Structure 1
Amino acid sequence: MTKPPDIGAAEAAPDKLDAAVLKVAGVVVLGAVMSILDITVVTVAIPTFMTDFQSSVEVVAWTMTGYTLALASVIPLTGWAADRFGTKRLYLAALSFFIIGSVLCSMAWSIESLVAFRVIQGIGGGMLMPLGMTIMTHAAGPQRIGRVMAVLGVPMLLGPICGPILGGWLIDSFSWHWIFLINLPLGLIALVLAFVVFAPDQPKPSESFDFVGMLLASPGLALFLFGVSSIPEKGTVLAGRVLIPAIVGAILLVAFVFHALRTEHPLIDLRLFENVSLRYSVLTMSLFATAFFGAGFLLPNYLQQVRGETAFDSGLLMAPQGIGAMLTMPIAGFLVDRIGPGKIVLVGITLITAGLAGFTQLGPDTSYLLIGAALVVMGLGMGATMMPVMTAAIQTLTHAQVARGSTLMNIVNQTAASIGTATMSVVLAAQLNDHDEAKMAIAATVNPELAAQIPPSIVEQGLELAADAFSSTYWVTVVVAALTLIPAFFLPRSKPKAPVDAEAVALV
């Protein structure tokens, strides 16, 4: 009987990423860049949407919230759908959804239609990253996942940095429609390349669909994240709009856990937690994403509210973080495949903690050189942390488990990032609410007409208090980042053995 091609692929695969794998990586990165960019590119368009659609900031914010919730809701389905329909077919379908959603967004005639079309966009965008991870892992084999994940980390770096810059340029030079229309040519190129480059799907008997799990997990995750995402707007966790959906969502998710542990083929395979490496990877990712993405919420707000920078300039000022990550990410990817992720992640988290500590000293006139240096240190740490943790989670999974494992890690990443952003916004709001002068100074910074009506001494004092609020909030991120060292200590510190795929062995 013929031996299946994926048995022993890790040993047979060349040590370096060959041309075939790099082609797959290029297509996946193109799709992931579009998906992640669209999370951040809309931020700079919010004032334009408010003016063009004559709507309030609370309503316009749904252009971001709707996309994020659709993205989060569809992620749990990705693992089952990838097994059922094949990764290539599903990737092409997700990319098509994303392109269609983008074109529809550019044609929106009201804020309600724009929000609806952003949901369609998010359905496609939510599947692109976990599917891309699965496709690249299968193409490279477990022994080269570190370098593959380093490549996939590129869009995660480019999104938060380039999103505001690209969005600002397109809106200023053309119109807001182009922040969506630009996805059409890029998406069509990605669609053609994916069809040509990706290996054909190999049909196999499908598992039964966990319909009950879908009714619990997807709405539960969406409601929980909606409640958490409403905290910045409401300013308190006690608001009904926060508590009710968050509690209902949490109850549904807890019910899903009990259901999944008693179901043979659950929507999200929680039995993967029996894998020690994945278990500690999830804990590490949860704390890391909470600290890192929470901090990512703080700095743009400091630059705009305290320093008076535009969203476009804020994006430029945050570029050093991406530069730092680009320096360490390929090195970390290479070393992970050689010595395992444990030691590398410990170094990365230490650097992130040190970089975050620098922001605890923010003042109203802190040198941009010092801010840039702290961002470089954070970037160096991020490049040695995020994708190595993903690698630690997936490296020891069998071929059949990879789709479910990448889905699980993307859910963890999305949820922790939302919790981190909400937590830091609440802590910051609590700090600012104690000082009316700080809120007045921030209002004057973003409104020149108001600034002319307030004595300069009051504005100066208020900005000092506002900067203190930001620096105090950064201490929370430092503590969470430092706690990340605990689960990271238990990550593998040696080159992993190739996992044995029981199903494939049975076919030999």
Structure 2
Amino acid sequence: MSQIDRYFERYGPAYKWYATGASMVATISVVLSTTIVNVAIPAVMGTFGISAVQAQWISTGFLAAMTATMLLADWADRAFGMRATMNAAMAVFLIGSVIGGLAPNESVLTFARVVQGAAAGVVQPMAMILLFKVFPPDKRGAAMGIYGVGVVLAPALGPWIGGVLMDAFDWRSVFYLGLPFSAIAIVLSNLFLPGREDSGKRPAFDFVGVAILAIFLSVLLSTLSNAQRLGWDSNTILLGFTVSASASVAFVLWELRTPKPMLDMRLFASFAFSSASVVSFIMGAGLFGSTYLLPVFVQQIQGLMPTQAGLLLMPSGFAMLLVFPIAGRLSDKVTPAIMIGIGMAVFAWSSWLMADANVHTAFWTLAWLTVLSRIGLGLVFPAITSGSLMVLPHHLLGQGSGAVNFIRQLGGAFGVNLLTVFIERRTIMHADAFAATQTSDNATAMELLGQVAGLMHASGVPDAQLMPAAASFLGQTVVIQASNAAFQDGFMIICGVFLIALIPTWFMWRAGKSTA
């Protein structure tokens, strides 16, 4: 009798729901932390005096670490058992939360986020494995639907909860929110999660593959972040690109030759799966990139409070909650590639509309555009899973499922990083272009300086300080307009990337037809 059978004997049929609840608490705690910190980015930048590129590591470090450890879950379950693995992961996550709340500088804060991300990468796949163990095949769909409610609602509520905490306390409080969830998850894990089933020798793990992957992610993301500051043709940056390229080649070669690969390269022999992987990467980049950009945009450009920035994303989470079950049923009847194509086109359309956003754009206009984008993603999510796995042989389904999630998270890490670097470069370019036009020949600029100087004179500013103060105001206006234009460029880039994603979607459709 397996340990899960013993749990069923002890708790009866209700045990599967106890196990689901335990896994949901753990998952919600780590998923919540994925988005809750985004509303704190401007405040962290002000506290530590860092740039947007440095601050984005608070999000990118989490996603990169989560990506690197995501493929460890299956091995950890077989080597240590689900209970011990979940306890260890939640304990590490709890420690990372405490370090983040107490961080004295941005380096310690980034380290804390990496620790949190490493734990989160193990927790999410572990919860999926548990649900597949405790539910019979004909009930797994319903279980995934209930589990998906928590997974979808957590990132939707995260920014709002983070904003409320920041307005009431400060940005450090968003890290402490995970402490009670982590403690409860550890208690429930000890009550309802099974231990290791096999008492034999622990299975070997691809530690070399993990090390190479970690080098690739850390070096490439760090190189991209520092390229603007150090120069794209500097020796340090060129060396970083060389090391990351070498690491990527070494990772592929190692995974092809090792008997226990972390990522089975046979998966990509299927052209349909490879196409689906490209789409999944782009989807992750768009989802996490836009979720990162929006709160920063509305706080820096529109001057919204953190709570308002969090509220902006809440309707979109509820929209995904409604779209998920409908899209799931449609994906059983409609070719997955068609669903993916429609979803990608909808997301691209919403990004194109978002590219017109400025300081005057109404709150609810931005909220509904975000809802539109999430409707598109809601159509893509179930279709990308079924479309990528249906083309694989049965013995590769486990590896395929992990690979799709891994690639989506990888896209998220790169999406946040590249968008931040892009916006910084475009802000500088627009600022230089706008500043070059603010001359004595520019009648509009001269009129603005005169009006500002008049207002300051009326408020009692000494005459000697009127023009310098007016010029300072003009400079701040130029910076805000340049930043606004850069964010608009960022949304347009997201639109273009999702339109390009229609090409691999078409290949996926053709490959699916040929194998049908």
Normalising TM by the smaller chain, what interval? 0.7 to 0.9
Give the distance between the partners of 2:472 and 2:355, measured in 1 at CA. 28
**Pairwise CA distance, 1:291:** 3.1
CA shift at 1:56, angstroms? 4.7
Q: Give % identity.
A: 26
Which of 193, 214, 219 is 1:218 aligned to?
214
Question: For the Cα contact (< 8 Å) 1:145–1:337, is it kept in 2?
Answer: no
Instruction: Give the structure 1 partner of residue 498 of structure 2.
Output: 481
Show the counterpart of 2:449: none
Contact 2:41 2:55 (8 Å CA) reproduced: yes
Structure 1 pair 293–97 and aligned structure 2 pair: CA distance change class (3 A): closer
Q: Describe the shift of the 1:96–1:258 C-alpha distance in structure 2 as closer, same or farther (beyond 3 A).
A: same
Quote the offset at 1:371 in angstroms. Answer: 2.4
1:163 aligned partner = 158
1:311 aligns with 2:306: yes
Could you tell me which amino acid in structure 2 is paired with residue 478 of structure 1?
A: C
Distance 1:196 1:42, change over 3 A: same
Per-residue deviation, 1:32: 2.4
Give me the whole-angstrom Cα distance separating, in 1, the residues matched to 2:140 and 2:391.
10
Residue 97 (structure 1) aligned to one of 68, 92, 98: 92
Cα distance in structure 2, aligned partners of 1:92 and 1:321: 32
Secondary structure of the equivalent of 2:360? coil
Residues in 1 aligned to 2:141 and 2:390: alpha-carbon distance in whole angstroms: 8
Change (3 A) 1:197 1:252: same
Separation in 2, partners of 1:135, 1:239: 49
Deviating more after overlay: 388-397 vs 304-313: 388-397
Using the TM superposition, name which of 233-242 and 349-358 deviates more.
233-242
Structure 1 counterpart of 2:162, one-letter code: G
Question: Which position in structure 1 is the counterpart of 2:453?
Answer: none
Counterpart-to-counterpart distance in 1, 2:398 and 2:178: 26
Q: CA deviation at 1:112?
A: 5.5
What is residue 269 of structure 1 aligned with on the other side?
264
CA RMSD between the two structures: 4.2
Rounded to whole Å, the distance in 2 between the matches of 1:148 and 1:343 is: 26
Give the structure 1 partner of residue 488 of structure 2: 471
Is 2:284–2:415's contact at 8 Å kept on the other side of the alignment? yes
How far did residue 477 of structure 1 move?
1.4
Task: Give the C-alpha shift of residue 110 in structure 1.
Answer: 6.3
CA offset digits 1:241-299 (Å, max 9, x no partner): 65543431231121110121122211222222245554332121012223333333433
Maintained 8 Å contact 1:300/1:314: yes
Aligned residue type for 1:210: D
Amino acid at match of 1:223: V
| Distance (whole Å) between structure 2 residues aligned to residue 242 and residue 154 of structure 1 | 43
Match of 1:434 in 2: 429
Paired letter, 1:213: G
Considering fraction of residues, name the structure with more helix: 2
Query: What's the TM-score once normalised by structure 1's chain length?
Result: 0.77
Matched, 1:123 2:140: no
SS of 1:434's equivalent in the other structure is helix
Unaligned regions of 5+ residues in structure 2, if any? 6-12, 436-455, 457-467
TM-aligned CA distance change 1:382 to 1:20, over 3 Å: farther
Q: 1:377 corresponds to which letter in structure 2?
A: L
1:34 and 2:29 equivalent?
yes
**2:440 corresponds to:** none
Change (3 A) 1:165 1:85: same
Shift of 1:114: 4.8
Q: Which residue of 2 aligns with 1:286?
A: 281
Give the letter aligned to residue 284 of structure 1.
Answer: V
Partner deviation per Cα, 1:274-331 (whole Å, 9 max, x = no partner): 4555433212101222333333343333322322223332221232322321220122
Return closer, same or farther for 1:118/1:51 CA change in 2, 3 Å cut-off.
same
| C-alpha distance after superposition, 1:34-80 (max 9, x if no partner) | 2232233334445666777x665587766555544433332343343
Choose which of 383, 396, 402 in structure 2 pairs with 1:388: 383
**1:253 aligned residue:** 248
State the partner residue of 1:423.
Answer: 418
More displaced 10-residue stretch of structure 1: 316-325 or 250-259: 316-325
Q: Tell me the alpha carbon deviations over residues 120-148 of structure 1, each in whole angstroms, 9 at most, x when there is no partner.
A: 33331221123223333444567776665
- For residue 460 of structure 1, report the CA deviation from its aligned partner: 6.4
Q: Aligned partners of 1:438, 1:151: CA distance in 2, in Å?
A: 52
Name the CA shift for 1:397/1:91 in 2 (closer, same or farther; >3 Å): farther
State whether residues 364 and 463 of structure 1, in contact with CA within 8 Å, keep that contact through their aligned partners in structure 2: no
Cα deviation digits, residues 341-398 of structure 1 (max 9, x gap): 4443333223212222211333442333332322221111111213432344456667
Note the alpha carbon deviations across 1:77-127, whole angstroms, 9 max, x for none. Answer: 334333433444423321222123324444556666555444433331221
Q: Which runs of 5+ in 1 are unaligned?
A: 7-17, 441-448, 498-508
From 354, 357, 363, the equivalent of 1:368 is 363
Instruction: Give yes or no for contact 1:283–1:487 (8 Å, CA) kept in 2.
Output: yes
The answer to whether the Cα contact below 8 Å between 1:79 and 1:407 also exists between their aligned partners in 2 is no
Which residue of structure 1 lines up, in the alignment, with residue 450 of structure 2?
none
Q: After the TM superposition, which of the residue ranges 222-231 and 397-406 deviates more from structure 2?
A: 397-406
What TM-score, normalized to structure 2?
A: 0.76
Partner amino acid, structure 2, of 1:226: S
Q: Secondary structure at the match of 2:355?
A: helix
Partner Cα distance (1:395, 1:91) in 2? 30
- Report the CA distance shift for 1:192/1:405 in structure 2 as closer, same or farther (over 3 A): farther
Q: 1:227 aligns with which of 220, 223, 226?
A: 223
Aligned residues: 473
Q: Judge conservation of contact 2:156–2:318 (CA < 8 Å) in 1.
A: no
Query: Kindly tell me: are residues 83 and 246 of structure 1, through their superposed partners in 2, closer, same or farther at Cα, counting changes over 3 Å?
Result: farther
Which residue identity lines up with residue 218 of structure 1 in the other structure? Answer: A
Aligned to 2:204: 208
* Structure 1 letter corresponding to 2:244: G
Counterpart AA for 1:307: Q
Whole-angstrom CA distance in 1 between matches of 2:393 and 2:14: 24
Contact 1:150–1:387 (Cα < 8 Å) also in 2: no
2:131 equivalent among 128, 136, 139 = 136
Cα contact 1:294–1:421 (8 A) shared by 2: yes
Change (3 A) 1:289 1:63: closer
CA contact (8 A) 2:135 2:143 kept: yes
Work out whether 1:82 is the aligned partner of 2:77: yes
Q: 2 CA distance for matches of 1:468 and 1:51? A: 22
Higher mean alpha-carbon deviation, 372-381 vs 456-465, is at 456-465
Rg comparison, structure with higher value = 2
How many angstroms apart in 1 are the aligned matches of 2:176 and 2:293? Answer: 30
Match of 1:73 among 43, 55, 68: 68
